[in-house]
Structure 1
Amino acid sequence: MPKKVELVNHLSAEELKAAYRSSQDAIESRRWHLLWKVATGWTIKNSALAVGLEYEYARRIVKKYNTEGKTAVINKKKAVNRQGRTALLDRQQLQELAAALKEKPADGGLWTGAKVAKWIEEKTGHKKVWSQRGWDYLKKSNYSWKIPRQKHRKGDPQAQSEFKSELPEKVRQMQVRNPGATVELWFMDEHRVGLKPIIRRTWTPIGSKPVAIVEHRYEWLYVYGFVHPQSGRTHWFLIPRVNIEWFNLAIASFAAAIEVSENKKVMLVLDRAGWHRSPQVELPPAIELELLPAYSPELQPAERLWKLVDEPLVNQHFETIDRLEEVLSKRCCILAGMTEEIHNLTAYHWLPAA
């Protein structure tokens, strides 16, 4: 049986755990993790395997910690960049930068690598700091370049929270009303696409600039998407417009496709569009509608389908709506087989397993 090493009691196991979880440096974090494992009775060999370190390296870290204490964990390379020069900002200045990034920059716009570089120049007195170094310090401050998730101004957070907490009970009650039947929870939404180009970022070889042919024309069709998040199953319909008549046809086609019956019921969640709520909507007996809170697209898993639907249309030019429909038809057939990807994209953690 491998011999367990004894750690000198510089820090308790709980303190080592706290240091591991709070560390912002990847190398130091892994070293703290190793020491925490050893402190809880693991062998050095098993601890090294668990945290992804070589045994000899792990053994040296433990030995150094026993003789030097906390200083043995410090990543001495982090204060020096790849060219061997000292870091532009010390620990105190990094904290000041983190505080500055929480506010608008001096010009009232958005932080960029160039603006952070300028901030570093003013803070440190360096004559010239390149924009790339500003970008590096944005990343070092745990910032990344993201597009904000949209949230409607009129959305009611309380109503949204209640919807998420009450949906499992509503599914359960539907199951109670239909003993012996299978109850599935589906979501549905509509997506408009047309001859107006969709322009997005794309990977291209360095040194070349992608070009997209554009011609803005306003001719549309709609993708009706139904998704069962727990399995990733989908059903798709390409329809020329949105209204009650077409919605009734889509619902009837969906019901036939998944073979609803007395033994298979569906709760279908959708938004509050007028053609969804109209008294003229003709629902198959085995389908019940559940409406999302107003202005709450973030609660609709089907909304996440559209970026997958759009992929073959991005940066492309289509002469006619018929050609666009042909490409979309092929795409929907492909998406119908991408159940794992769609499950991972749409199975929100708060959804019931139905």
Structure 2
Amino acid sequence: MLKKIDFTALSKKETNAAKRIRLLALAHYSEGMNKAQIARTLKVSRASVNKWVAAFLDKGIDGLDAKSPPGRPASLSSEQIKKLSRYIEYHSRSDVGGRLTGADIQAWISSHLNVDYKMSNIYRLLHQWGFSWISSRSKHPKQSQNAQEEFKKLEINVIKLCPGHLPLNNVDIWFQDEARFGQQNTTSRLWARTGSRPRAVKQQQFEYAYLFGAVCPATGETEALITPWVNKDAMTLHLKQISERTKPGRMAVVIMDGAGWHTEDTIQQFDNIRMLKLPPYSPELNPVEQVWSWLRQNALSNRIFEGYEDIVDACSDAWNTFVKDTHRVISLCTRKWAQLNG
């Protein structure tokens, strides 16, 4: 069996140094060297040579593979890890506050599982168990998940709003919102040299403009209006834009929050618009919120404005930059639950 294998050739191809020595030992053994001579030639112990030859005779070439050391046994059993995972997940979803720090988890393991870990090991194990230190999303304490799920049954709400003779495939869903931009501006992340601490100017003046924005995710169509204030008159002008954009024979259902100027009397003069209010405390259902984030991050943060006209110009440029890419509008604002099947 030994004569049929070219151990020398195998050793030249082997990348693992430990296995290469074992192959060379077998090469010398197949050529007639005794184990003591092999040990002296390779500068290893005779016991090692005996073990390698025996492993080869028992399991073949696979018997020469290096065995990974078993390492120290885990301090926590699988059941303890499951218990700890449930504890972390419960606090991450808790409505009364769930911000666990590494020190909190370290203390809980010590007091409940009687195991003491160094802080560096806590972080390593958390990643190993599938946890990460990630940013959370805000949620109002009065928010109702059930109300949100009911609202997502959008076809039922649309059917109730629209005339019975109008098929769903003649209805356009729009999302509408407004945001304030101005001299009390936001700062955001930026690219800079690693290790540096760049500073962005933050003004202390109080000039603002209000951007009314509306998006139809199905088509990528958009409408916007910039005003120095928010009220019913401004809202009516914005709805007039959407009404004029809606093609003859179609109906626009405009989804918006419950702001004080979002009232039914603002749409009474438009026979091709219906208003649908979001559940209370549910801004995350409105994709225009993501549009505001995009505008701030990509065009409006980390800068100063000389006055109202400068703010208007900057908001106009930012909005036009966003909407010129229809694919971007559709991608950012499409929600599966807001698509009508017709």
TM-score bucket of the superposed structures, by smaller chain = 0.5 to 0.7
Amino acid at match of 1:111: L
- CA RMSD, 1 decimal: 3.5
Distance 2:122 2:139 in 1: 30
1:267–1:287: 8 Å Cα contact kept in structure 2? yes
For residues 112 and 239 of structure 1, do their structure 2 counterparts lie closer, same or farther at Cα, with a shift above 3 Å needed?
A: same
Distance 1:284 1:278 in 2: 11
Q: Indicate which of 319, 325, 334 corresponds to 2:312.
A: 325
For residues 100 and 279 of structure 1, do their structure 2 counterparts lie closer, same or farther at Cα, with a shift above 3 Å needed?
A: closer
1:146 aligns with 2:137: no
For residues 89 and 112 of structure 1, do their structure 2 counterparts lie closer, same or farther at Cα, with a shift above 3 Å needed?
A: farther
Residue 236 of structure 1: how far off its partner (Å):
2.0
In the alignment, which residue of structure 2 is the partner of 1:210?
A: 198
Residue 94 of structure 1: how far off its partner (Å):
4.2
1:235 aligns with 2:247: no
Amino acid at match of 1:232: G
Residue 113 of structure 1: how far off its partner (Å):
4.7
**Bigger radius of gyration, 1 or 2?**
2
Amino acid at match of 1:218: F
Residue 268 of structure 1: how far off its partner (Å):
1.1
Secondary structure of 2:261 counterpart: helix
CA offsets 1:290-319 (integer angstroms, 9 cap, x no match): 222233223222222211121222222333
For residues 290 and 96 of structure 1, do their structure 2 counterparts lie closer, same or farther at Cα, with a shift above 3 Å needed?
A: closer
1:275 aligns with 2:261: yes
2:211–2:227: 8 Å Cα contact kept in structure 1? yes
User: TM-score if structure 2 supplies the norm length?
Assistant: 0.65
Amino acid at match of 2:133: W
In the alignment, which residue of structure 2 is the partner of 1:334?
A: 321
CA offsets 1:29-88 (integer angstroms, 9 cap, x no match): xxxxxxxxxxxxxxxxxxxxxxxxxxxxxxxxxxxxxxxxxxxxxxx98x99xxxx8698
Secondary structure of 1:98 counterpart: helix
Q: Quote the sequence identity (%).
A: 28
Residue 121 of structure 1: how far off its partner (Å):
8.7
Map 1:98-117 → 2, pairs under 5 A: 98-102=85-89, 110-113=99-102
Q: Indicate which of 258, 273, 296 corresponds to 1:287.
A: 273
For residues 205 and 138 of structure 1, do their structure 2 counterparts lie closer, same or farther at Cα, with a shift above 3 Å needed?
A: farther
> What is the number of residues matched between the two proteins?
266
2:186–2:202: 8 Å Cα contact kept in structure 1? no
Secondary structure of 1:345 counterpart: helix
Amino acid at match of 1:302: V
For residues 134 and 278 of structure 1, do their structure 2 counterparts lie closer, same or farther at Cα, with a shift above 3 Å needed?
A: same
In the alignment, which residue of structure 1 is the partner of 2:155?
A: 168
Residue 331 of structure 1: how far off its partner (Å):
1.2
For residues 199 and 120 of structure 1, do their structure 2 counterparts lie closer, same or farther at Cα, with a shift above 3 Å needed?
A: farther
CA offsets 1:163-196 (integer angstroms, 9 cap, x no match): 222x213435637433698321111111111111
For residues 95 and 276 of structure 1, do their structure 2 counterparts lie closer, same or farther at Cα, with a shift above 3 Å needed?
A: closer
1:301 aligns with 2:287: yes
Residue 245 of structure 1: how far off its partner (Å):
0.8
Distance 2:200 2:176 in 1: 32
For residues 164 and 115 of structure 1, do their structure 2 counterparts lie closer, same or farther at Cα, with a shift above 3 Å needed?
A: closer
Residue 129 of structure 1: how far off its partner (Å):
4.7
Residue 277 of structure 1: how far off its partner (Å):
1.1
CA offsets 1:105-163 (integer angstroms, 9 cap, x no match): 9xx9843456657778996556x553xx5433332222223333333233344433322
1:246 aligns with 2:229: no
Distance 2:189 2:73 in 1: 33
User: TM-score if structure 1 supplies the norm length?
Assistant: 0.63
Q: Indicate which of 234, 240, 264 corresponds to 2:250.
A: 264
Distance 1:104 1:294 in 2: 25
Distance 2:168 2:125 in 1: 60
Unpaired segments ≥5 residues, structure 2: 1-66
Amino acid at match of 1:327: A
Map 1:174-213 → 2, pairs under 5 A: 174=162, 176-178=164-166, 182-213=170-201
Distance 1:88 1:210 in 2: 44
In the alignment, which residue of structure 1 is the partner of 2:60?
A: none
Distance 2:241 2:249 in 1: 18
For residues 313 and 134 of structure 1, do their structure 2 counterparts lie closer, same or farther at Cα, with a shift above 3 Å needed?
A: farther
Amino acid at match of 2:260: G
Unpaired segments ≥5 residues, structure 1: 1-75
